[in-house]
Amino acid sequence: MPAVGPIKRRDLIKRLKQLGFSDPRSGGSHEYIKRGRYRATRPNPHEGEISQALHLRILRQAGGSREEWEAL
Protein backbone atom coordinates (compact mmCIF):
# COMPACT_ATOMS: atom_id res chain seq x y z
CA MET A 1 0.00 0.00 0.00
CA PRO A 2 2.03 3.02 -1.23
CA ALA A 3 1.49 6.22 0.70
CA VAL A 4 0.99 9.54 -1.04
CA GLY A 5 4.30 11.15 -0.27
CA PRO A 6 7.68 11.67 -1.85
CA ILE A 7 8.26 9.07 -4.57
CA LYS A 8 10.82 8.24 -7.23
CA ARG A 9 9.78 9.15 -10.77
CA ARG A 10 10.14 5.56 -11.99
CA ASP A 11 7.89 4.26 -9.20
CA LEU A 12 5.28 6.94 -9.90
CA ILE A 13 5.09 5.95 -13.57
CA LYS A 14 4.92 2.26 -12.68
CA ARG A 15 2.03 2.83 -10.27
CA LEU A 16 0.13 5.06 -12.73
CA LYS A 17 0.40 2.31 -15.34
CA GLN A 18 -1.11 -0.10 -12.77
CA LEU A 19 -4.06 2.33 -12.58
CA GLY A 20 -4.59 1.95 -16.34
CA PHE A 21 -2.62 4.82 -17.83
CA SER A 22 -1.11 4.66 -21.31
CA ASP A 23 2.57 4.73 -22.18
CA PRO A 24 4.06 8.24 -22.11
CA ARG A 25 3.61 10.51 -25.13
CA SER A 26 5.40 13.69 -26.15
CA GLY A 27 3.65 16.93 -25.43
CA GLY A 28 5.88 19.98 -25.65
CA SER A 29 8.35 20.30 -22.81
CA HIS A 30 6.81 17.46 -20.77
CA GLU A 31 5.57 14.01 -21.60
CA TYR A 32 2.06 13.04 -20.56
CA ILE A 33 0.07 9.90 -19.92
CA LYS A 34 -3.65 9.34 -20.47
CA ARG A 35 -6.46 7.29 -19.01
CA GLY A 36 -9.83 7.87 -20.62
CA ARG A 37 -10.52 11.60 -20.63
CA TYR A 38 -7.82 12.35 -18.06
CA ARG A 39 -4.34 13.51 -19.00
CA ALA A 40 -1.52 13.83 -16.47
CA THR A 41 1.78 15.59 -17.07
CA ARG A 42 4.70 13.33 -16.40
CA PRO A 43 7.54 15.07 -14.58
CA ASN A 44 10.89 15.43 -16.32
CA PRO A 45 13.71 13.30 -14.94
CA HIS A 46 15.60 14.93 -12.13
CA GLU A 47 17.73 13.82 -9.26
CA GLY A 48 15.95 12.91 -6.08
CA GLU A 49 12.30 12.21 -5.41
CA ILE A 50 9.10 13.88 -6.52
CA SER A 51 7.68 15.89 -3.64
CA GLN A 52 4.38 15.05 -1.97
CA ALA A 53 2.83 18.27 -3.35
CA LEU A 54 3.74 17.40 -6.96
CA HIS A 55 2.66 13.80 -6.40
CA LEU A 56 -0.80 14.96 -5.27
CA ARG A 57 -1.05 17.44 -8.18
CA ILE A 58 -0.34 14.64 -10.68
CA LEU A 59 -2.97 12.43 -9.03
CA ARG A 60 -5.54 15.24 -9.30
CA GLN A 61 -4.69 15.78 -12.99
CA ALA A 62 -5.07 12.05 -13.52
CA GLY A 63 -8.51 11.98 -11.94
CA GLY A 64 -7.28 9.55 -9.33
CA SER A 65 -7.95 9.60 -5.64
CA ARG A 66 -5.71 9.10 -2.66
CA GLU A 67 -7.74 6.00 -1.73
CA GLU A 68 -7.32 4.49 -5.21
CA TRP A 69 -3.55 5.13 -5.01
CA GLU A 70 -3.20 3.62 -1.56
CA ALA A 71 -5.21 0.54 -2.62
CA LEU A 72 -2.47 -0.50 -5.08
Calculate the alpha carbon distances from 41 to 1, 53, 60, 71 in Å.
23, 14, 11, 22
Contact 44, 9 (CB under 8 A): no
32 pLDDT above the threshold of 70: yes
Contact 11, 43 (CB under 8 A): no
List the domain boundaries for the chain. 9-70
- The yes/no answer on whether domain 9-70 falls in CATH 3.30.920.30 is yes
The pTM of this model reads 0.74
C-beta neighbour count of 8 within 10 angstroms: 11
Q: Quick: pLDDT tens for 47-64.
A: 788 888 888 888 888 887
